Amino acid sequence: MVTSCFAERFGDFIEITPTERQALARLEERTRSLKRGAVLIRENDNQGELFILVSGTAMTYVLLDDGSRQILRFLFPGDMIGFSSLVYVRSAETIAAVSDCVVAAFDRQLLTKIITDHPRLSALVMTMNQLERIALLDRLVALGRTSAKARVAAILLEIRDSRAVADGWSANSFLLGLTQEEIGDATGLTAVHVNRMLRQLDEEGLIARDNGRVTLVNEAALTRLANYTNRFNGIDLSWLPPGR
Amino acid sequence: MVTSCFAERFGDFIEITPTERQALARLEERTRSLKRGAVLIRENDNQGELFILVSGTAMTYVLLDDGSRQILRFLFPGDMIGFSSLVYVRSAETIAAVSDCVVAAFDRQLLTKIITDHPRLSALVMTMNQLERIALLDRLVALGRTSAKARVAAILLEIRDSRAVADGWSANSFLLGLTQEEIGDATGLTAVHVNRMLRQLDEEGLIARDNGRVTLVNEAALTRLANYTNRFNGIDLSWLPPGR
DNA sequence: CGGTAAATTGACCTGGGTCAATAAATGTGG
DNA sequence: CCACATTTATTGACCCAGGTCAATTTACCG
């Protein structure tokens, strides 16, 4: 049976046809392993390749002149990587492995072919792009208008839910897999302040920590505090064209 | 001659075929006028319609429980509106008119049809979505890692360049068309602090102001200060499938 | 077991927020 | 075209959330 990380992402929503599955499988033929910290695409690079994350966690970020870093998004298995180097001559963001990862590389011409031959997959790719846009949107709101504590709470929930989708099951205790500096760079805070916020959330009984492992003790309160919405719910694919 | 705001957006890059032009024109048949301040789509709404902005300036924002607002993006003629209510049952963001505007409404089924019949237009829609994603990304970086002054400078440049694309010509003096409160809600600042930053930029000789009109006196310095990249340059459409 | 990356914590500082008062600008009805 | 009402812009005084710096401690790794 031909498999595809990307297809699995939407397995619960739609039935992929055999032809479609085959087309998607072609995207994941050439895999490559990355060690924690390795850079896959550097800002301003362009090698004309796209990727699908097969396993592990990756992230995208931008470095500023003063050396500070803004992490834009964490990536999980099934995520498509590198659209910004598709549309622009130079990539707007750097993409790097947060944990050891496996990625599948494919040429942009393969995407062009899918768009031409498989309208429904084309719509799925659009959907993925929108989901990603909305993840950015949520983080943007958090950075612009919520407190440090809320942002840290939000990222804990986001990581838990993203991992749940990739792994297929959800637990309220999980390995975070991020350093406090990474959390800070994602939330627009310093590592020091992230530490203080984690301690507070801990002291207030909202979470418990044990070496990288986080337990969401009071998820409802955390969700409220963080102004968090689980974006994996409420997806609507009723507008998709039929499969080919 | 059939016209399309959306098509014009990419007129410099590719030659649209007559059939394509016709398909796009169908998206803009039903227009509607909006008064400044009117809400087109409310957060959590869903009427299953998409829009193209024909004239004027609009914005998307999210309101938080405490009443604060984060403006995500300003929209200009040719922008497609409402993708988040396409992919989700409920819209993630509110869309409202910043100035009096005209929008064209079309049913999501029309988009489905375009995806099915016109692969190249489908790729163009994807491109638009990416451009929008990258606009969010730039703002995210600004909010997370740059100073208030830099963010205000960035928004001035962004508005100027966006308007230039929509109008087809660029000037270093333009009507901002935003209140300082709107600038604040877009940059994650208070209106009061936006005012202070504008004054500083003015005093430092980077800009000049005269009622809502802004003149970029030292654009190079402003660009450097803001860490600004003009995303209307460097677009690559070489991967697009041929037109039908 | 030494060496480095990551987490913690305290002391202190500052960029941007809050509150409040005033002045300009813009709109509205008559 | 005027008088009044409502936004919007401006400025000062003061405050605090989150940053900076520096010192330890703890975890991880060859």
| Contact residues for A227 (Cβ-Cβ < 8 A; gap 6+) | A141, A142, A146, A150, A154, B64, B65
Residue B151: how many CA atoms within 13 Å on its side-chain side? 26
The alpha carbon of residue B143 is apart from the nearest alpha carbon of chain A, in Å, by 6
Question: Which helix H or strand E contains B85, and what residues bound it?
Answer: helix B84-87
- pLDDT of residue A19 exceeding 90: yes
Chain B residue with the nearest C-alpha to that of A125? B126
The secondary structure of chain A, three-state, reads CCCCHHHHHCCCCCCCCHHHHHHHHHHCCEEEEECCCCEEECCCCCCCEEEEEEECCEEEEEECCCCCEEEEEEECCCCEECCHHHHECCCCCEEEECCCEEEEEEEHHHHHHHHHHCHHHHHHHHHHHHHHHHHHHHHHHHHHHCCHHHHHHHHHHHHHHHHHHHHCCCCCEEECCCCHHHHHHHHCCCHHHHHHHHHHHHHCCCEEEECCEEEECCHHHHHHHHCCCCCCCCECCCCCCCCC
Q: Closest approach of chain A CAs to the CA of B28, in angstroms? A: 19
Query: Under an 8 A CB cutoff, do A72 and B141 touch?
Result: yes
Residue A165 has pLDDT above 90, yes or no: no
Distance CA B210, CA B153 (A): 16
pTM of the model: 0.95
pLDDT at residue B7 in the model: 85
Has residue A1 got a pLDDT over 60?
Answer: no
Cα separation, A6 vs A102, in Å, equals: 14
Chain mean pLDDT for chain A: 94
How many angstroms separate the CA of A36 from the C1' of D29?
A: 14
Mode of pairing for the β-strands spanning A58-63 and A69-75: antiparallel
Chain B residues in contact with A62 (beta carbon < 8 A):
137, 141
What is the distance in angstroms between the Cα of B54 and the nearest Cα belonging to chain A? 22
Res. A191: pLDDT tops 70: yes
A71, A200, B85, B103 from B79: Cα distances, Å: 27, 43, 15, 10
Determine, for residues A125 and B125 on separate chains, whether the beta-carbon distance falls below 8 Å. Answer: no
Rounded CA-CA distance B244/B229 in Å is: 34
Average of per-residue pLDDT across A143-157? 98
CB contact under 8 A, A236 and B86: yes
Nucleotide whose C1' lies closest to the alpha carbon of residue B193: C16
The position carrying tokens 């002149």 is: A65
**In chain B, what are the helix, strand and coil shares in percent, each to the nearest 5?**
45, 25, 35
Q: Closest residue to D7 by CA to C1' distance?
A: B179
CA of B45, C1' of D14: distance in angstroms: 42
Residue A76 CA: distances (Å) to CA of A1, A52, A69, A132: 23, 9, 20, 11
The arithmetic mean of pLDDT across residues A192-202, rounded, is 98
Does A75 have pLDDT greater than 70?
yes
pLDDT tens digits for B53-104?
999 999 999 999 999 999 999 999 999 999 988 999 999 999 999 999 999 9
Residue A119: both structure tokens together: 């309208």
Identify which of B155, B228, B161 has the alpha carbon closest to the alpha carbon of residue B188: B155
Specify whether the CB–CB gap between B100 and B35 falls below 8 A: yes
pLDDT at A96: 97
Which residues lie near nucleic chain C, judged by CB under 7 A?
A: A 179-181, 191-192, 195-196, 198-199, 209, 212; B 147-149, 188-190, 192-193, 211-212
The residue with greater pLDDT, A170 or A225, is: A225
Q: Closest partner residue to A140 among B72, B146, B239, by Cβ?
A: B72
Residues of B in contact with A141 (CB under 8 A): 62, 64, 70, 72
Among B69, B96, B62, residue whose Cα is nearest residue B189: B69
Residue A97 CA to residue A39 CA, distance in Å, equals 6
Say which nucleotide is closest to residue A211, CA to C1' distance: D27
Check B144 against A188: CB less than 8 A apart.
Answer: yes
Q: Write the CB contacts of A171 (distance below 8 Å, at least 6 apart in sequence).
A: A160, A164
Tell me if A236 and B89 make a contact (CB, 8 A cut-off): yes
Residue A137 with chain B: CB contacts under 8 Å: 62, 72, 84, 92-93, 136
* Count of C-beta atoms within a 10 Å radius of residue A98: 20
Contact B239 A111 (CB under 8 A): yes
- Assign A2 a pLDDT band (cuts: 50, 70, 90): low
The beta-carbon neighbor of B109 closest among A116, A229, A239 is: A239
* B175 sits in which H/E element: strand B173-175
Which residues of chain B carry a pLDDT beneath 50? none
Q: What percent of chain A has pLDDT over 70?
A: 99
Looking at the predicted structure, is the pLDDT value of residue A146 above 60? yes
For chain B, the average pLDDT equals 94
